[in-house]
Amino acid sequence: MTLHARTLRLGVNIDHVATVRNARGGAHPDPLAAAQAALAAGADGITLHLREDRRHIRDDDVARIRAAITAPINLEMAATAEMLRIARDTTPHAACLVPERRAEVTTEGGLDVAGQREALRPVVAALAAAGIRVSLFIDPDTPQLEAAAAIGAPVVELHTGAYAHGGPGELDRLARAAERGASLGLECHAGHGLTHDNVGPVAALPQVVELNIGHFLIGQAILEGLPAAVRRMKALMQAARPPG
């Protein structure tokens, strides 16, 4: 019998609240207000991606949200000197290192940890030394998992994009990666492209303890409101977990 980790946390990614705000250049809707609404509806933490081009979340959003909420904040960031400085200054609970290409619409693939071990190792060490829990956003493959463990990352976030696009065999690939990650001592998170319709099988993976979900929830907020969308997501996640 496989034991499930007891809790499964939901991190709500609020980037696209900032996307809508920035479309008009004003202050509404405020990502901080959205973060507070998501937490009040049952989110366990807030995730935000400070991209190098600042296309959605901006530096002042990170600072305001860090100052105003006590729930865990997960800062997604590229492994650059600038982002490392900002992470050390704002000390989020967690930082998730992601690949970043300026032309991409969203984070398209996982970080190539296996190919960039020596560049990533000091970034992981510096974040850990600042008391920030580091995760690496990777494709769900053994070489990436082994490289993540080898450079001392305590957490990996498995990229669920290919699963969300309906790729055949992708759920099995995620399941094998979660198992392998746990056997390497890595805490396993997952995210990208998750919706009310596809979250169940990922939430059921026993080694996965956190899901980070953004675009769908913010889109759904237009249709049913953010609190309702978050509550439904949490309920679906919990329903996928065996009791006990």
Residue 191 CB, nearest approach to ligand PXP (Å): 3
**Nearest distance in Å: CB 30, ligand PXP:** 19
- Residues in Cβ contact with 119 at an 8 Å cutoff, skipping those fewer than 6 apart: 79
Q: Does 215 bind ligand PXP (CB under 6 A)?
A: yes
| Cα dihedral across residues 222, 170, 13, 57: positive or negative | negative
- The least CB distance from residue 54 to ligand PXP, in Å, is 14
Distance CA 93, CA 98 (A): 16
Give the residue numbers marked as catalytic. Answer: 49, 76, 192
Q: Which is nearer to ligand PXP, 235 or 242 (CB)?
A: 235
Q: Which of 106, 115, 122, 225 binds ligand PXP (CB under 6 A)?
A: 106
DSSP 57: S
Name the region of 152 (left: φ>0; alpha: ψ -120 to 50; beta: rest): left
Q: Does 212 bind ligand PXP (CB under 6 A)?
A: yes
Letters for 151-190 (x = contact with ligand PXP by CB under 6 A, - = none) are ------x---------------------------------
- Interface positions, 40-99, toward ligand PXP (CB under 6 A): 49, 76, 96, 98
Helix (H) or strand (E) holding 49: strand 45-49
Residues written for the chain: 244
Q: Based on the shown chain and the rule CB under 6 A, indicate whether residue 232 belongs to the binding site for ligand PXP.
A: no
Which tokens is 163 given?
Answer: 């699963």
Q: Tokens at residue 103, please?
A: 């032309």
Nearest distance in Å: CB 48, ligand PXP: 9
Q: Can you tell me the distance from the alpha carbon of 11 to that of 232, in angstroms, rounded to the nearest whole number?
A: 14
Sites of contact with ligand PXP (CB under 6 A): 13, 15, 49, 76, 96, 98, 106-107, 137, 157, 191-194, 212-216
